[in-house]
C-alpha cells in the first residue's frame, strides 16, 4: 500500500489551475487520477509557454521618454496657525464689611460666571473682597452675601482688562 497523499483538484486550465477543494488520497490509482486531472489541457507541453526568440536577433532596448529636469516649484511654508487670543483679566474689588463668618460671592454672565451659582471672592481685609476673572468679552455681574442675599440696585458691568472698585449695598 502506498502512503496517503494530498492533492488539489481544480477546474482551471493552464499552468496554475484554480483550486476547488482538497482531497486526501489513500490508493495509488487515485494518485494517478489526480495527476491526470492536474495536467493542463489544450497545450502540447510546458515548453510551449516559454517565449520564442528569433534566430540571431538581439532584443533592442526601448527608448525612455525625456525626463523633465525643470526645478521643483518652491512652495512657501504656511504661516503658523493664529494663536487663540489670550483671555484678559477683569478684576472686581468690593469695599464692604459683610461681618465675621460671611463670604461675598459673585454671579453673572461672561468670564465663566452664571446666574445660578456664585464664585467666592477672596477676602483681602475686613472690608475688602476681590476676584480676578479671565475673559474675552464684557462681564455683567452682581454680588451676594453667602451666595444667598443679592446686592441692591442694577447689575454691574466690566470690560476686558478693567479693574472695577464697587461699594455694594445690601
Query: 88-166: which CATH number, 1.10.645.10, 3.40.30.10, 2.60.40.10, 1.10.730.10?
Result: 2.60.40.10
Q: d(Cα 166, Cα 92) in Å, to the nearest integer?
A: 8
Q: What is the pLDDT along the chain (170 residues), one digit of tens a residue?
A: 444 444 444 444 455 555 555 555 555 666 667 666 666 555 555 555 555 555 566 667 777 777 666 776 777 777 777 777 788 999 999 999 999 999 999 999 999 999 999 999 999 999 999 999 999 999 999 999 999 999 999 999 999 999 999 999 99
Q: Which residues contact 93 (CB under 8 A, 6 or more apart)?
A: 124, 128, 129, 130, 163, 164, 165, 166
Tell me if 117 sits within 8 A of 105, measured CB to CB: no
Q: Can you give the pTM of this predicted structure?
A: 0.52
Q: Locate the domains of the chain by residue range.
A: 5-42, 88-166
Amino acid at each position: 500500500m502506498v502512503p496517503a497523499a494530498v492533492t488539489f483538484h481544480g477546474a482551471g486550465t493552464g499552468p496554475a489551475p484554480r483550486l476547488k477543494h482538497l482531497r486526501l488520497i489513500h490508493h495509488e490509482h487515485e494518485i494517478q487520477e489526480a495527476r491526470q486531472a492536474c495536467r493542463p489541457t489544450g497545450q502540447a507541453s510546458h515548453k510551449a509557454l516559454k517565449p520564442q526568440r528569433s534566430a540571431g536577433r538581439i532584443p533592442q532596448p526601448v527608448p525612455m521618454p525625456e525626463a523633465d529636469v525643470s526645478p521643483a516649484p518652491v512652495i512657501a511654508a504656511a504661516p503658523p496657525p493664529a494663536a487663540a487670543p489670550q483671555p484678559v483679566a477683569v478684576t472686581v474689588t468690593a469695599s464692604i464689611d459683610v461681618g465675621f463668618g460671611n463670604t461675598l460671592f459673585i454671579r453673572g454672565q461672561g468670564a465663566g460666571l452664571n446666574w445660578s451659582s456664585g464664585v467666592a471672592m477672596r477676602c483681602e481685609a475686613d472690608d475688602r473682597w476681590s476676584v480676578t476673572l479671565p475673559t474675552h468679552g464684557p462681564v455683567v455681574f452682581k454680588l451676594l452675601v453667602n451666595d444667598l442675599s443679592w446686592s441692591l440696585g442694577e447689575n454691574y458691568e466690566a470690560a476686558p482688562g478693567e479693574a472695577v472698585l464697587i461699594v455694594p449695598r445690601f
